[in-house]
Structure 1
């Protein structure tokens, strides 16, 4: 997905979580700034969905690990960034205690397209 600036005031992470609960579209958070997520193409959605399904099937027998789809945020540990990858998985017990995001993913999957590569380079 491509992130576009939402032209909103700066938020703390807690303000962002409370605000985003009432939004119709997803937003990513980068050090106080909020970016609206644009829609995906059909192919992007199909690929992301298939990858999530494969991961979920592989982890279905696991008591420790869970697969997550593109609706679950990940906190980037080295900064105050919260993003929505296309799929992810976690095996870390600490992630079972959270409800709004995970912090210790074992796997992050992002389906790349020209727009996501451009957006990612803007935030690197």
Structure 2
């Protein structure tokens, strides 16, 4: 996820300019900028499997599916993350280099990044008003967790295994867990 080096006290404008000129991605947490590690091969395959199904399902709709090259901004916390996958459906979410109104975020995690995804990012992503589902996919075992927000703005988690299907209510798509892990040796 992050390497240990970081830049301190950059403004949002400085960070966005820095990202345009950088060869690697960095996440921004209230002025601190953290370089990101490259995704593993397993993570890339899992992400590709999910992206392919989302793009096919949402083709010719108002939904926009983004890969890990698109930042998500959490405005009230001054945070920018690069999730593996994000989906938006709000035509007012027009920023070119980041989105701030996703309805779905998917993160693939390893043992090294699990704590950040389960704690920091879960807590912070929940501040996004339009976010309906946050999906965590393990790269080391066949295990998927989906955090869903109900009509009362309460969050619930559902754990899924090899024989289950992932129901993404935010985009009206069901994906077999086996399809998510296609071509992945766990």
**Greater Cα radius of gyration, structure 1 or 2:** 2
Deviation of the 1:81 alpha carbon: 0.5
Task: Provide Cα deviations, 1:7-50, integer angstroms capped at 9, x if missing partner.
Answer: 32311111100011111100000010000000111001110111
Q: For residues 6 and 78 of structure 2, what CA distance do their matches in structure 1 show?
A: 18
User: 3-state DSSP class of the match of 2:21?
Assistant: coil
Q: Could you tell me whether the CA contact under 8 Å between 1:74 and 1:82 is conserved in 2? A: yes
Q: For residues 109 and 41 of structure 1, what CA distance do their matches in structure 2 show?
A: 16
Partner of 1:84: 82
Q: Where do residues 21-32 of structure 1 align in structure 2 (5 Å cutoff)?
A: 21-32=20-31
TM-score w.r.t. length of structure 2: 0.61
Any unmatched runs of 5+ in structure 1?
none
Cα-Cα RMSD: 1.6
Deviation of the 1:4 alpha carbon: 2.2
Structure number with the bigger relative contact order (C-alpha 8 A, sep ≥ 6) is 1
Q: For residues 44 and 34 of structure 2, what CA distance do their matches in structure 1 show?
A: 20
Partner of 2:64: 66
TM-score w.r.t. length of structure 1: 0.89
Q: For residues 66 and 110 of structure 1, what CA distance do their matches in structure 2 show?
A: 17
Compared with structure 1, are the counterparts of its residues 55 and 88 closer, same or farther at alpha carbon in structure 2 (3 Å cutoff)?
A: same
Any unmatched runs of 5+ in structure 2?
124-186
Q: For residues 103 and 35 of structure 1, what CA distance do their matches in structure 2 show?
A: 20
* Aligned with 1:108 (options 101, 105, 109): 105
Tell me how many residue pairs correspond in the alignment: 121
Deviation of the 1:122 alpha carbon: 5.9
* Structure with a larger share of its residues in helix: 1
Deviation of the 1:116 alpha carbon: 1.6
